[in-house]
Amino acid sequence: MKKHESLLLQQVEDVWNTWRKQGHVKQEDLYSFLQSIRDSVPVIDRGELESIAYELLELGPFDKLTGLYDRTFLLGALERYITEARAAGQSCVLAAFDVAGFDVYQQQRGSKAGDDLVQRLSAIVKKKIKEQGLAVRDLADRFYVLFPLAGLDEARRCMEELRLTAMEMMSCRLTVIMLEADQAPDHFTTELILKTAETSLTQAKASGSGGLRLIDLASRETLRVRIAVIDDDPLMRSMLERQLSDLVGGQDQVDVEVRSFFDGEHFFQEGWFVNDGPMIVLLDQMMPRMNGMEVLSRLREQEDSSRYWVMVMTGSGHEDEIVEALEAGADDYFMKPFSLDVLKARIRRYIKGLMI
């Protein structure tokens, strides 16, 4: 085995081991890929070297257009550095920014011109950030910079320099928001922190003020709402769980968790219903073993039964069944087949009432 081939194999193993520890690739993908390299090392040639580089690029945590890290990497790194910052009594600062007027620019000049702008901006980001932070490209012209264990003042100076440089060199006006991720309330997940940053960036951009804004994450209060779908129809469960997971459309003030159950016994056995906080229950009226009316009766027997908002789903449309559900304590009902948009609107109205 040639010396450079041995060094290549060691470097590839080091890279993959690092990514595996950080959770960026599946363990089985790692072993399969390393085994394929070991098998080919004795006869490795330029084509195989290019193939190895291609696989690393495709499976690695990189944005293909810019070479910056991608969102998957950011989620793992953010969780890790928040933990380290809190343990060390330091700050972990997250900045998010995008280009004012990018959509119009791309529509007028085409997608290639938009890609060129993003690549040029990425080059400036790399130069300005250097070793101070981790640069990430998310969607279109949206970027993040994560400053692990950095002070807010230092991170702010860096982002202000980046903003001014982009204006001078590219005539790009950047909208920038910054927040101290380590100050997030304990129940904030990394996804929710990013959702807060995205919402704040959208609001800042909509105001047209540009510039740089600081977001006080510590003062953010989030309403946590759980939605239980109880239905013996697997297609109905799958469809509702998928559609309702993004019910609030990225609002950082509301965190929605959806779970589905194949019947009433399954719902009560799981024990999910006993946690604190409001719960929306979408309940099929006719199910084997424990039907919807039995589930409704048990929920209304709970000491804190008022926190369960129950919508009964009925397929028959018979008036006596609707009356039975309402008299048993159902808060609302709808008949199958139903409009998904109408169902979402009713649930959003209920959630909005909780926030008042």
Q: In this model, does residue 1 exceed pLDDT 50?
A: no
pLDDT at 27: 46
pLDDT at 185: 81
67: three-class secondary structure by DSSP: coil
d(CA 350, CA 254) in angstroms, rounded, equals: 12
Average pLDDT over residues 89-111: 91
CATH number of the 223-355 domain:
3.40.50.2300
pLDDT at 97: 94
pLDDT tens-digit readout, 264-274: 999 999 888 88
Q: In this model, does residue 43 exceed pLDDT 60?
A: no
pLDDT tens-digit readout, 273-289: 887 778 999 999 888 88
Architecture in CATH for domain 71-219: 2-Layer Sandwich (3.30)
- For all residues of the chain together, what is the average pLDDT? 81
Residue partners of 290: CB distance under 8 A and separation at least 6 = 263, 264, 265, 268
pLDDT tens-digit readout, 8-35: 556 666 666 665 555 444 445 555 555 5
Where are the domains positioned within the chain? Answer: 3-59, 71-219, 223-355
Report the DSSP beta bridge partners of residue 334.
Answer: 313
Alpha helix ranges (H) inside 283-318 = 292-300
Q: Percent of the chain scored above 90 by pLDDT?
A: 35
**Inter-residue contact 157 to 170 (CB < 8 Å):** no
Average pLDDT over residues 315-320: 76
Average pLDDT over residues 90-112: 91
pLDDT at 180: 94
Average pLDDT over residues 243-264: 80
More confident of the two residues 137 and 73: 137
pLDDT tens-digit readout, 134-168: 899 998 889 999 998 778 999 999 999 999 999 99
Q: Percent of the chain scored above 70 by pLDDT?
A: 78
d(CA 172, CA 165) in angstroms, rounded, equals: 9
**Sign of the four-CA dihedral 232, 234, 235, 239:** positive
Q: In this model, does residue 321 exceed pLDDT 90?
A: no
pLDDT tens-digit readout, 226-236: 999 999 999 99
pLDDT tens-digit readout, 52-69: 555 555 556 778 888 888
Report the DSSP beta bridge partners of residue 179.
Answer: 94, 215
Q: In this model, does residue 318 exceed pLDDT 80?
A: no
pLDDT at 33: 56
Report the DSSP beta bridge partners of residue 229.
Answer: 260, 282
pLDDT at 121: 95
Q: Compute how many other C-beta atoms are within 10 angstroms of the C-beta atom of residue 295.
A: 26
Which of 143-157, 178-192, 245-259, 332-346 shows the lowest per-residue confidence on average (mean pLDDT)?
245-259
Q: Compute how many other C-beta atoms are within 10 angstroms of the C-beta atom of residue 94.
A: 31
Q: What band does 251 get if pLDDT is binned at 50, 70 and 90?
A: low
Q: In this model, does residue 261 exceed pLDDT 80?
A: yes
